[in-house]
Amino acid sequence: EPEVTQTPSHQVTQMGQEVILRCVPISNHLYFYWYRQILGQKVEFLVSFYNNEISEKSEIFDDQFSVERPDGSNFTLKIRSTKLEDSAMYFCASRQGDGTNEKLFFGSGTQLSVL
Amino acid sequence: AQSVTQLGSHVSVSEGALVLLRCNYSSSVPPYLFWYVQYPNQGLQLLLKYTTGATLVKGINGFEAEFKKSETSFHLTKPSAHMSDAAEYFCAVVALGNQFYFGTGTSLTVIP
C-alpha cells in the first residue's frame, strides 16, 4: 500500500527556534493535511491544503505556522518561533480527492519536543 | 457542525472477550465515518470506514462497525480480543468540507 512519509521522526528544538517538519504525500493525492496530537490528548486538525493554497485552518494554526508545497512532492509545516506548548506529535495526511475514495492516509508522525 | 464523542477513555477486556468501543457523532448532513487505530509510537492507521451503502462495515484485524443513523452511532466491535489489539482507537467524522473531526480516543487494554 502507498505510504505518506514524514521526516524527521523526532525533532528536539529550543524555545523560540524555527522548525520545519517535512512530509511526502502519496504521489497522486491532491489534498494534504497537518494534524497534531499533544501527549494524552486527541488528534487536532491544523490545516488543509489544496491546489497550492490553504483551504481550511483551525484556530491553532496562527501566524506562527505556515505550510508550503515547495516542489511536486514535499509538503512542509513551518513553526517560526516555537513555544513549549508546541510540543506534540505532528501528523501529515493526504487523500486522493477524486470523490470515490475518502480514505485519509496518515504518516507515522514527527515527535516535536520544545525545550 | 460536526463532532464526535467517544464514551470511555479507557476500556479493559480479557483476551478472547468481546471488544466494544463506542462512538457517537453529530452532523447536519450524512457523514462519512472512520475508525483509526494508533499503536504505541506509531501514526494513525485506518481500521475501517463507512461512506454509503451497507451499514455494517468490516475492517482489518477482525474489527467491524455498524452505522446506525437513528442512534447517530458508529460503534466498533470485535468478537474476540487479542493481545495485539491493545492500542488507542479514534473515531472520526467528515461531512461538509475536507476536515476530519476526531474523537478524544479510547485506550484499549487487553488482559491476558
Backbone conformation region of residue A86, classed left if phi is above 0, alpha if psi is from -120 to 50, else beta = alpha
Name the residue among A74, A64, A67, A21 with its Cα closest to residue A48: A67
Contact residues, chain B, for A105 at CB < 8 Å: 46
Å from A81 to nearest chain B CA?
A: 25
| pLDDT at residue A101, rounded to an integer | 47
Return the C-alpha cell found at A2. Answer: 502507498
The answer to whether the CB of A19 falls within 8 A of the CB of A110 is no
More confident residue, B104 or A64: A64
In chain B, the residue whose alpha carbon lies closest to the alpha carbon of A104 is: B46
Residue in B44, B49, B94 nearest the CB of A91: B44
Residues, chain B: 112
| Tens-digit pLDDT profile for residues B38-79 | 888 777 888 998 888 889 999 999 999 999 999 999 999 999
Contact yes or no for A24/A108 (Cβ under 8 A): no
CB contact under 8 A, A107 and B43: yes
Span B94-98, average pLDDT: 65
Tens of pLDDT, residue by residue, chain A (115 residues): 778 999 988 899 999 999 999 999 999 899 999 999 888 778 888 999 998 999 889 999 999 999 999 887 899 999 999 999 999 999 999 988 766 446 788 888 899 999 9
B3 shares contact with chain A (CB less than 8 Å): no
pLDDT value of residue B45: 86
Q: Which three cell numbers stand for residue A62?
A: 496562527
Contacts of A34 in chain B (CB under 8 A): none
Of the candidates A89, A113, A91, the one whose C-alpha atom is nearest the C-alpha of residue A38 is A89
Q: And the C-alpha cell for B61?
A: 484485524
Q: Is the dihedral of CA A54, A58, A63, A68 positive or negative?
A: negative
In this predicted model, what pLDDT tens digit does every residue of A33-58 receive, in sequence order? 999 988 877 888 899 999 899 988 99
Closest among A97, A105, A92, A58 to B49, alpha carbons compared: A105
Instruction: Tell which wins on pLDDT, A9 or B108.
Output: B108
The burial of A59, by beta-carbon neighbours within 10 Å (0-12 exposed, 13-18 middle, 19 or more buried), is given as exposed
Residue A75's pLDDT is 96
Contact (CB, 8 A) for A93 and A84: no
Closest by Cβ to A108, choosing from B43, B94, B99: B43
- Render B18-65 in DSSP notation, one character per residue: PEEE--EEE-SSPPEEEEEEE-TT--EEEEEEE-SS-SEEE-GGG-EE
- pLDDT value at residue A91: 93
The torsion of the CA quartet B64, B70, B71, B76, rounded to 10 degrees, works out to 0
- The answer to whether residues B75 and B65 touch, using CB atoms and an 8 Å cutoff, is yes
